[in-house]
Amino acid sequence: MQYKSERLSENITICINDTHRFGTDAFLLADFAKHKRSDTFCDMGTGCGIIPLLVSKNNAPKEIVALDIQSDAVELLKKSLEISNIDNIKPICADLKSDWYKTYADHFSVVTMNPPYKADNAGLQNPNEPEKIARHEIMCDLNDICKVASKILKYGGRLCLCNRPERLADVIKAMQSNGIEPKRLRFASKNADTAPWLFLIEGKKGSKPFMKVLPQLNTMNSDGSFTKELMEIYKTKGQEF
């Protein structure tokens, strides 16, 4: 398996390839999830495993499970764990819609997913199958994600997702249809003068309706440098510059 490695911190190396890589949205989602040491944590559609790796060394949850349907993505994560000498992440290769979740029914306190942003019938699709799976809802859609999350979350457990702003109504509908009530919402923009390019949302299983909209997260200063908040997120999660 061909891969290249990047240092996330002094102790963490992540293995990636041209298909399974990561971006700023992964760091924002890992930060937004606000995990605790007492959490049981699952990242679905983990790809190269960036989110589990980010949470594994900073106030790490007592249990971390990383799930992906693509075996090459899971192998990349396993390689990262080997190189970084990390033993507190459990990689699982399975379709999230399969019976894998029965082992973890009502088990997790936090579930995260950086899902495919585009609906199956939206826009041009990459002819490369792994790329297509990562970007379009080929293997699962938002309802599938929220349905499985509802099954594996404890009562009061939290589902944290990110997506493009045009999918916000779809995400809220999928959450509420599966017993997960949206509780926190935050938009991310390049700066205060540009429209959001991402939103982060947290829903709680079995909670009553009430959603708090947080201040907008701006990622760039006027001179093109990263904002103080984004730099702090990168620093907290282990990114080196």
pLDDT in tens, 18-28: 999 999 999 99
Mean pLDDT of 154-180: 98
Rounded CA separation 24/234 (Å): 9
The confidence score (pLDDT) of residue 137 equals 57
Give this prediction's pTM.
0.90
* Phi–psi pair at 40, nearest 5 degrees: -105, 125
Segment 197-209 mean pLDDT: 98
* 22-31, 132-141, 172-181, 185-194: the lowest-pLDDT one: 132-141
Phi-psi bin for 207: left (phi > 0), alpha (psi -120 to 50), beta?
A: beta
Count structural domains, the chain: 1
The lowest-confidence range among 118-122, 149-153, 226-230 is: 118-122
Q: Is the per-residue pLDDT at 238 higher than 70?
A: no
Residue 63 CB partners (closer than 8 Å, separation 6+): 39, 40, 41, 88, 90
Q: Is 170 exposed, middle or buried (0-12, 13-18, 19+ CB in 10 A)?
A: middle
Question: What whole-number percentage of the chain has pLDDT above 70?
Answer: 89
For residue 241, pLDDT over 50 is answered with: no
Q: Which amino acid is at 147?
A: K
| Mean pLDDT of the region 184-189 | 98
Q: What is the pLDDT of residues 66-97, one digit of tens each?
A: 999 999 999 999 999 999 999 999 999 999 99
The sign of the dihedral angle between the CA atoms of 47, 68, 235, 188 is positive
CATH number of the domain where residue 86 is located = 3.40.50.150
pLDDT of residue 125: 46
The amino acid present at 211, given as its one-letter code, is: M
61: nearest Cα among 44, 42, 77, 40 = 40
pLDDT in the model for residue 117: 86
Structural domain that includes position 217: 4-237
